[in-house]
């Protein structure tokens, strides 16, 4: 059977379909996957096309793709620039714009900026190094790793095999089987349906949207077509109508504050739900507004509602303030209101690298949860195999949740529970009694983040919390209480 040809140019829309999540976070990996697909499925005009059998190993692909691969492209060592003729010498930008497969750089950048809020210099940094270096942050996003000299394939063979090739298998671009403990890959007869159905449209969109992607999608379809509105967004909004004016005024006030060259500190008078509607005052540095699930929140850095006294500066942290619970926002004056504020806090907020939205994105990418100020802890989940295949696999959660074998789950149980305790014995017995077809995943989550608890409740019997024990017990008690209401 003749293989289907992968002859798609590296448009932003095509690259977005090759990795879950934001392309701004995963550009280098997405371009590598695009090149690998050309090497396997390309047509005769592709200079990168390899002569592979219907079934092949990773090492067979590696040895054909690179020069002197056995000497320079090792399992755990990134290749040096051993010869300019090797494909590992080519940079990310060269693959995109200077190869026979490439496209116009100016048009590509314009398209990228329609989807993502990114400055020209940050986009140039992304194309040069594979990561965004923001002027507003001392460090780059934690999810990115800089490419040596911008070389796209200057990565270890293990990275290519365990991450890139495994992603192609997970997304349905390749089949894989084990033969004598070795992975054998084989080509597919037809490309994944999700790719074909989306790439045919010039405004292709992946099935999962980041907030930036949804904004771009809205911009492209928000106008009526031939006098008829064709695009609608339905969101649950729990802010009471009586508070709409307050929220709108706060947004206008913050918008004006953020136009200043030096953003001032503000004093929030806040009615905290976590403190049983107690009204507290907090001095903070306002950073940005997030709409999350059902309401808008102001992310700010400084004092938090946990503190008993507005003059208590012992704990400075991030916090998300629901806008409709902010009773008053006062802009502080530098010469008058800053007298009792710690100098180190003012210097951080007004220094070269003040708290920024990039800091929030980095913290959100580090663990599952919205409350970024809460500590992280290991969460181990068991999924029903069909639920996992339909709602986790090939979605943004697929990148977040790491699949682990049941044997590793048992090791986690032994490590995180008291040795030889009743809890440990019962939990091990429970894990061993579950179906061998179930899927286990690990993820770091924000402890006591109620949004995560609500998500786990919504998944119901399709998911089981294995660890930590306290969260497992909480889920059990909540379900028993619910059952008692209905029995």
Average pLDDT over every residue of 24-34 = 91
Residue 216, token pair as written in the block: 């771009």
- Residue 45 belongs to a domain: yes
- Asked if pLDDT for residue 391 goes beyond 90, the answer is no
- Asked if residue 137 belongs to a domain, the reply is yes
Structural domain includes residue 249: yes
Query: Is there a single domain that holds both residue 101 and residue 184?
Result: yes
* Residue 144 counted as domain residue: yes
Looking at 300, 326, 361, the residue that finishes a domain is 361
pLDDT, mean over the chain: 84
Element (H, E) at 425: helix 422-433
Residues 143 and 273 placed together within one structural domain of the fold: no
How far is 353 from 134, CA to CA, in rounded Å?
Answer: 10
Cβ of 224: how many Cβ atoms within 10 Å? 10
pLDDT at 210 (0 to 100) = 47
Nearest to 49 by CA among 93, 91, 7, 79: 7
pLDDT tops 90 at residue 293: no
pLDDT band at 174; cut points 50, 70, 90: very high
Residue 235 buriedness (CB in 10 A; 0-12 / 13-18 / 19+): exposed
Domain shared by 175 and 307, yes or no: no
Whether 144 shows a pLDDT value over 80: the answer reads no
Residue 230, domain member (yes or no):
no
Looking up residue 397, the CATH number of its domain turns out to be 3.30.70
Do 326 and 434 reside in the same domain of the chain?
no
Same domain, 87 and 210: yes
Same domain, 163 and 117: yes
Q: Give a yes or no: residue 225 inside a domain.
A: no
Is residue 224 a part of any domain in this protein? no
Q: Which two tokens stand for residue 227?
A: 């006098």
User: Could you tell me the residue range of the domain that residue 281 belongs to?
Assistant: 241-361
Residue 296 has pLDDT above 80, yes or no: yes
User: How would you list the strands of the sheet with 326-331, edge to edge?
Assistant: 317-322, 295-302, 278-292, 266-272, 326-331
Q: Are 36 and 111 part of one and the same domain? A: yes
**303 plus 253 within the same structural domain:** yes
Domain boundary among 310, 339, 361: 361
| Averaged pLDDT for residues 176-192 | 89
Q: How far apart are CA 58 and CA 247, in angstroms?
A: 56
Q: Are residues 415 and 311 in the same domain?
A: no
Task: Write the pLDDT tens digit of every residue in 192-201.
Answer: 877 876 665 4
Within-domain flag for 233: no
Assess whether 353 and 427 both reside in one domain.
Answer: no
Query: For position 137, what pLDDT does the model report?
Result: 39
Q: How many domains does the chain have?
A: 3
Does 421 or 117 have the greater pLDDT score? Answer: 421
* Alpha carbon distance 183, 403 (integer Å): 17
Domain identity same for 204 and 87: yes
Do 24 and 125 fall within a single domain? yes
Report pLDDT for 143.
38
pLDDT at position 221 is 59
């Amino acid at each position: 059977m003749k293989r289907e040809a992968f002859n798609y140019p590296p448009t932003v829309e095509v690259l977005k379909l090759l990795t879950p999540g934001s392309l701004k976070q995963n550009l280098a990996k997405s371009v590598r996957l695009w090149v690998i697909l050309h090497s396997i499925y390309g047509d005769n005009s592709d200079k990168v096309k390899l002569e592979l059998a219907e079934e092949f190993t990773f090492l067979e692909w590696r040895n054909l793709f690179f020069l002197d691969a056995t000497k320079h492209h090792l399992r755990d060592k990134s290749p040096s620039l051993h010869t300019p003729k090797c494909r590992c010498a080519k940079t990310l930008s060269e693959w995109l714009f200077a190869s026979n497969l490439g496209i116009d750089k100016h048009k590509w950048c314009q398209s990228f900026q329609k989807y993502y809020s990114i400055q020209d210099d940050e986009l140039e940094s992304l194309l040069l190094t594979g990561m965004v270096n923001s002027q507003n942050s001392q460090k780059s996003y934690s999810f990115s790793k800089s490419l040596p000299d911008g070389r796209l394939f200057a990565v270890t063979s293990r990275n290519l095999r365990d991450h890139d090739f495994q992603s192609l298998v997970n997304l349905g671009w390749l089949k894989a089987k084990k033969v004598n403990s070795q992975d054998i890959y084989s080509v597919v007869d037809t490309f994944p349906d999700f790719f074909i159905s989306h790439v045919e449209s010039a405004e292709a969109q992946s099935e999962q949207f980041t907030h930036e992607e949804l904004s771009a999608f809205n911009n492209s379809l928000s106008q009526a077509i031939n006098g008829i509105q064709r695009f609608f967004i339905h969101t649950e909004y729990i802010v009471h109508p009586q508070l709409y004016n307050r929220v709108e005024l706060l947004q206008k006030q913050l918008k004006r504050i953020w136009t200043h060259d030096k953003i001032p500190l503000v004093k929030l008078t806040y009615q905290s739900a976590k403190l049983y509607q107690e009204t507290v005052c907090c001095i903070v540095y306002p950073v940005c507004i997030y709409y999350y699930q059902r309401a808008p929140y102001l992310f700010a850095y400084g004092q938090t509602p946990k503190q008993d006294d507005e003059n208590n500066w012992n704990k400075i942290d991030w916090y998300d303030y629901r806008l409709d619970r902010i009773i008053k926002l006062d802009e502080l004056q530098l010469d008058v209101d800053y007298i009792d504020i710690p100098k180190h806090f003012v210097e951080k907020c007004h220094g070269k690298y003040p708290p920024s939205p990039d800091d929030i994105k980095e913290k959100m990418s580090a663990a599952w949860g919205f409350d970024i100020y809460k500590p992280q802890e290991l969460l181990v989940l068991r999924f029903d195999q069909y639920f996992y295949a339909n709602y986790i696999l090939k979605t943004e959660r697929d990148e977040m949740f790491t699949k682990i074998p049941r044997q590793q789950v048992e090791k986690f149980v032994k490590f995180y529970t008291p040795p030889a305790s009743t809890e440990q014995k019962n939990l091990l017995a429970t894990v061993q009694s579950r179906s061998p077809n179930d899927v286990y995943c690990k993820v770091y989550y924000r402890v006591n983040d109620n949004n995560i608890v609500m998500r786990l409740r919504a998944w119901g019997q399709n998911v089981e919390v294995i660890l930590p024990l306290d969260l497992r017990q909480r889920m059990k008690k909540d379900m028993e209480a619910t059952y008692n209401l209905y029995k």
